[in-house]
Amino acid sequence: MADGGVMMRVRTTCPYCGVGCGVAVEATGDGVAVKGDPNHPANFGRLCSKGAALAETLGLEDRLLHPQIEGRRASWAAATETIATAFSRIIERHGPDAVAFYVSGQMLIEDYYVANKLMKGFIGSANIDTNSRLCMASSVAGHKRAFGADVAPGCYEDLERADLVVLVGSNLAWCHPVLFQRIEDARRRRPDMRLVVVDPRRTATSEAADIHLPVAPGGDTALFRGLLRALERHGARDAAFVAAHTSGVEAALEASAPFDLARTARETRIAPELLARFFDLFIHTEKTVTVYSQGVNQAADGTDRVNAIINCHLLAGRIGKPGCSPFSVTGQPNAMGGREVGGLANQLACHMELDDPAARARVRRFWRAPRMADRPGLKAVDLFDAVHADRVKAVWIIATNPVVSMPDADRVREALRRCELVVVSDIVATTDTAACADILLPSTGWGEKSGMTTNSERRMSRQRAFLPPPGEARHDWRQICDVAAKMGWAEAFAYADSSEIFREYARLCALENDGARALDLAGLTALDKAGYEAFEPTQWPTPKGARGGMARLFADGRFFTPSGRANFVVPGGRAVAAVKPDYPYTLNTGRARDQWHTMTRTGRSPTLARHIGEPFVEMAPADAAREGLRDAEIVRVISPLGEMLVRLCVTARQRPGELFAPMHWNDAFAARARVGALVAPIVDPVSGQPALKASRVRIENAGAVWHAFAVIRTEDFVRWRAPDTAGYWAKARTRGGLRAELAGFEGALESIHALVADELFAEAIRPAHARAQIAAHANAGAGVYSRALFIDDVFAGAIYFARGPVPVARSFVCEQLGRALTARARQAALLGRPGADAPDRGAIVCSCMNVGAKEIAAAARAGCASIEAIGAATGAGTNCGSCRAEIARLLPEREHVPA
Ligand code: SF4
């Protein structure tokens, strides 16, 4: 054993967002400790709350440990044989396009590479698409139109070196927190640096900005057309660059000519003075980086938005130089890697195109492929449509949960239920998608698998294993290769380990690549197993002989188009969903700070559940008043396609006419909260990316007659079911058990509360009946009831009822769970209120340091006037920094962060 009881130290990469932070893991006899890797160039030691809680997500509860066929345990031999036989039979009868893979930005490059190789080179179809289609397909399409290749030109360092950072459609403080903290640190060092946020909502990010432009949904393209015009009119064109290195400037300028300040203000619904300030800042700040994310990509005109942004950078020559770049941040840990290998249905492999005969011939030779795909396959929305229509008869879904994340998600579920063969590879068996599977394959997860990922700045980093695969779990690449072998292609898929796959991938990237393709990994083709294991984070391209990678592209003004020039692109018209009187609100969707995707991993962490414990929808106060809705009511949000039950959050951060709901909650965590079920399957015509942020909905009071908050000790979070009387529920982990928000739509609170409590406690009481005591409190006049369960003296659960939102100190109650309590403490637990000797934290703001809103407010009242002072007094905001904007909101004189 090494020093300090450490048995193993591993440097790996975070499995969540596209920042791609390095993680240093120490395994000891007591468990696993996770810290930021100080030597990783993406984060230099920082982690956000999600990364910092990774160790809490490693348990085996609800892990899928064995293959299953039709719900029964099966051997790997039987499972892979069944898949191979069924796929082969369907291909023989109906052709290669009758099967499909739907894969994921959570897969590693090696997994992605073999999946793509099997589908496009051996099955002979391009029906492989990925959840990255939902994330950044419009950026890919925009990059290709402008640069001739899917290339992020800049790097993270540019965000620190810029004098102006413009964030468009990005709540970076919550969705890419470490990158946001890098910008914030730079602003503290250089107070003249400016931050502009373009977002319809007021967010944690916009509250830290110098200028917030609350653009109307669909107004982004108009905004950047207006900016292009203003740049030209004010002499900000880099004439030499534009003349020598670009094409199409005149057409783009002509198309933008009508976008004077008045029209731009009208189309964006931004005040002209605010627009003018922004234009002036952009025009006069040479070092500008424009960062864009899902708010740009997830739109019916997402590709046009990307090109409208890039046009401005091309005109001003702000590309390929330190501190100057348009910059797409990807949502997923390996979305970029998936783009690289060819994981999208409209790409071939390694930045080669399906419609290029020479590329197809090159890849065919390299793979010795018997049957090459020669036309694009089905993109995500079309793919599940084809499943629904029985044109695709077998689908293999790997590491993703489309029944939650796809638009028109109920139809996706229906499609899978009627599909002849659905194979799902995942780490858990309890996802909404796994419930539709005929065959379930147990995959290795973070900490168990090993391979390469690429982050948003083209930096490849290793994910490394530090745990053995649990049960019979296998790596995704191994599963794919096993099936390929049984379909008759054993030789082409005979890899000893992931390093062999990576080497083959690097060789294909380098093949006949004399600088014509951006993705050049010639410098890595000789990477042996030892070199692969010791691989240090490196940005591609890595041409032959290069020492390390390349931070920036296009410094020489040479692009990857046939002419070598970058293209200005004329964006199309304005794309806004038609307003239907029955559905008067525009529903925006996005991420919450401490959850990730469909919560299969972050949902395991009690620490992360402390921040927001249930699904919600945000609404402006004026809209709520007009609808007769009150804050914290349970509401039904309804679109023509589906509905969800969520908690209403009335907030001035939301603009009238628009709602916001998070994407994470699903049937495993709540009664009915899959926002995807409401979203229409409208896609960008160029990229095929769904418009996830502009659905038409209405909202109504769900009619709850009672509300409750419950905590209960349990070791079986997954199988816990809410009492039948609760029409609304949402559960989250807490230490030693779970917490749940409940509501009922029928019955009288006076009589029903005892029934609900009995149902809640039944499971916990069963093994300890003789030692269980239930304490009850009732205030019928106020309509407040509670019951608490003690087994011996240990607080084993409680439920608190009210006619409206339940006024109980949730953090306090959760902290008492599992504790032996004195008589006085028992009374406090029963009432759900701490006594005078135990402060109530309020809602947790800082997950890392477990500091609540009431503690922060108390510190502010005691004289702490800055975030730093609050941090010194309470610890809040001193670890990952993700909560700093929320702390600022609680300061009496709202602090401008950070200047
Ligand atoms: S910012 Fe957070 S979620 Fe994203 S990679 Fe870093 S630690 Fe992981």
Q: What is the pLDDT of residue 269?
A: 96
Amino acid identity of 584?
P
Cα–ligand 1 centroid distance for 597 (angstroms): 13
Sheet of 288-292: strands edge to edge? 211-213, 194-198, 164-168, 288-292, 325-328
The preferred substitution site among 14, 174, 179 for testing ligand 1, maximizing ligand atoms within 8 Å of CB, is 14
Given the CA of residue 596, which atom of ligand 1 is nearest to it?
Answer: 3
Separation of alpha carbons 498 and 480, rounded Å: 13
Q: What is the pLDDT of residue 579?
A: 64
Separation of alpha carbons 654 and 635, rounded Å: 17
Q: What percent of the chain has pLDDT over 90?
A: 82
Q: What is the pLDDT of residue 333?
A: 87
Separation of alpha carbons 144 and 767, rounded Å: 63
Q: What is the pLDDT of residue 72?
A: 97
Q: Residue 106: is it exposed, middle or buried by C-beta count within 10 angstroms (0-12/13-18/19+)?
A: buried
Cα–ligand 1 centroid distance for 161 (angstroms): 21
Residue 577: DSSP 8-state: P
Cα–ligand 1 centroid distance for 612 (angstroms): 18
Cβ atoms within 10 Å of 13's Cβ, excluding its own: 30
Given the CA of residue 36, which atom of ligand 1 is nearest to it?
Answer: 7
pLDDT band at 662 (very low <50, low <70, confident <90, very high): very high
Cβ partners under 8 Å of residue 877, min gap 6: 846, 849, 867, 870, 871, 883, 884, 887
Q: Do residues 667 and 594 lie in contact, with contact meaning Cβ atoms separated by under 8 Å?
A: no
Condensed to tens digits (0 to 9), the pLDDT of residues 586-632 reads 999 998 888 988 888 898 899 998 888 899 999 999 999 999 999 99
Q: What is the pLDDT of residue 513?
A: 92
Given the CA of residue 17, which atom of ligand 1 is nearest to it?
Answer: 4
Cα–ligand 1 centroid distance for 48 (angstroms): 6
The preferred substitution site among 25, 44, 48 for testing ligand 1, maximizing ligand atoms within 8 Å of CB, is 48
pLDDT band at 578 (very low <50, low <70, confident <90, very high): low
Between β-strands 706-713 and 194-198, what pairing exists: parallel, antiparallel or unpaired?
unpaired
Q: What is the pLDDT of residue 498?
A: 97
Residue nearest to atom 6 of ligand 1 (CA): 21
Structure token pair of residue 160:
């620190």
- 763-771 own/partner pairs: CB under 8 Å, 24+ apart: 763/712, 763/714, 763/720, 764/712, 764/713, 764/714, 764/789, 764/791, 764/796, 764/797, 765/789, 765/791
Alpha helices in 216-343 (DSSP H): 220-233, 239-245, 249-256, 261-268, 272-284, 294-297, 302-315, 335-341
Question: Mean pLDDT throughout 233-261?
Answer: 98
In the numeric block, the tokens 């240093």 are attached to: 24
Nearest CA among 134, 87, 152 for reference residue 539: 152
Given the CA of residue 49, which atom of ligand 1 is nearest to it?
Answer: 2
The preferred substitution site among 23, 50, 175, 608 for testing ligand 1, maximizing ligand atoms within 8 Å of CB, is 50
pLDDT band at 222 (very low <50, low <70, confident <90, very high): very high
> Which range, 537-546, 555-564, 766-775, has the best average confidence (pLDDT)?
555-564
User: Is 808 in a helix, a strand, or coil?
Assistant: coil
Buried b (16+ CB within 10 A) or exposed e, 699-719: beebebebbbbbbbbbeebee
Separation of alpha carbons 319 and 371, rounded Å: 41
Given the CA of residue 43, which atom of ligand 1 is nearest to it?
Answer: 6
Given the CA of residue 176, which atom of ligand 1 is nearest to it?
Answer: 1
Separation of alpha carbons 271 and 258, rounded Å: 18
Question: Mean pLDDT throughout 361-383?
Answer: 97
pLDDT band at 838 (very low <50, low <70, confident <90, very high): low
pLDDT at residue 837 tops 80: no
Mean pLDDT of the chain: 93
Q: What is the pLDDT of residue 898?
A: 31
Residue nearest to atom 4 of ligand 1 (CA): 17
Residue nearest to atom 2 of ligand 1 (CA): 48
Separation of alpha carbons 635 and 814, rounded Å: 26
Cα–ligand 1 centroid distance for 175 (angstroms): 8
pTM score over 0.85: yes
Given the CA of residue 20, which atom of ligand 1 is nearest to it?
Answer: 5
Condensed to tens digits (0 to 9), the pLDDT of residues 477-520 reads 999 999 999 999 999 999 999 999 999 999 999 999 988 899 99
Nearest CA among 446, 444, 450 for reference residue 476: 444
Cα–ligand 1 centroid distance for 713 (angstroms): 31
Cα–ligand 1 centroid distance for 645 (angstroms): 29
Separation of alpha carbons 695 and 586, rounded Å: 5
Q: Do residues 11 and 461 lie in contact, with contact meaning Cβ atoms separated by under 8 Å?
A: no
Given the CA of residue 455, which atom of ligand 1 is nearest to it?
Answer: 5
The preferred substitution site among 34, 176, 446, 599 for testing ligand 1, maximizing ligand atoms within 8 Å of CB, is 176
Condensed to tens digits (0 to 9), the pLDDT of residues 373-420 reads 999 999 999 999 999 999 999 999 999 999 999 999 999 999 999 999
Cα–ligand 1 centroid distance for 140 (angstroms): 22
User: Is 837 in a helix, a strand, or coil?
Assistant: coil
pLDDT band at 894 (very low <50, low <70, confident <90, very high): very low
pLDDT at residue 842 tops 90: no
pLDDT at residue 773 tops 60: yes
Cα–ligand 1 centroid distance for 50 (angstroms): 7
Cα–ligand 1 centroid distance for 13 (angstroms): 9
Q: Do residues 59 and 604 lie in contact, with contact meaning Cβ atoms separated by under 8 Å?
A: yes
Q: Report the residue count for the chain.
A: 899
Q: Do residues 258 and 221 lie in contact, with contact meaning Cβ atoms separated by under 8 Å?
A: no
Q: What is the pLDDT of residue 885?
A: 78
Cβ partners under 8 Å of residue 239, min gap 6: none
Structure token pair of residue 729:
């529920």
Given the CA of residue 48, which atom of ligand 1 is nearest to it?
Answer: 2
Nearest CA among 863, 872, 870, 873 for reference residue 886: 870
Cα–ligand 1 centroid distance for 595 (angstroms): 11
Q: What is the pLDDT of residue 310?
A: 98
Given the CA of residue 333, which atom of ligand 1 is nearest to it?
Answer: 5
Cα–ligand 1 centroid distance for 179 (angstroms): 9
Cα–ligand 1 centroid distance for 857 (angstroms): 28
Given the CA of residue 23, which atom of ligand 1 is nearest to it?
Answer: 7
User: Is 302 in a helix, a strand, or coil?
Assistant: helix
Q: DSSP letters along 437-499, please?
A: -SEEEEBP-TTT--EEEE-TTSEEEEE---SPPPTT-B-HHHHHHHHHIIIIITGGG--SSHH
Structure token pair of residue 810:
């949730």
Cα–ligand 1 centroid distance for 765 (angstroms): 41
Structure token pair of residue 880:
């990952």
- Find the residues whose C-beta lies inside 6 A of ligand 1: 14, 16-17, 19-21, 43, 47-48, 50-51, 176-178
Condensed to tens digits (0 to 9), the pLDDT of residues 440-449 reads 999 999 999 9
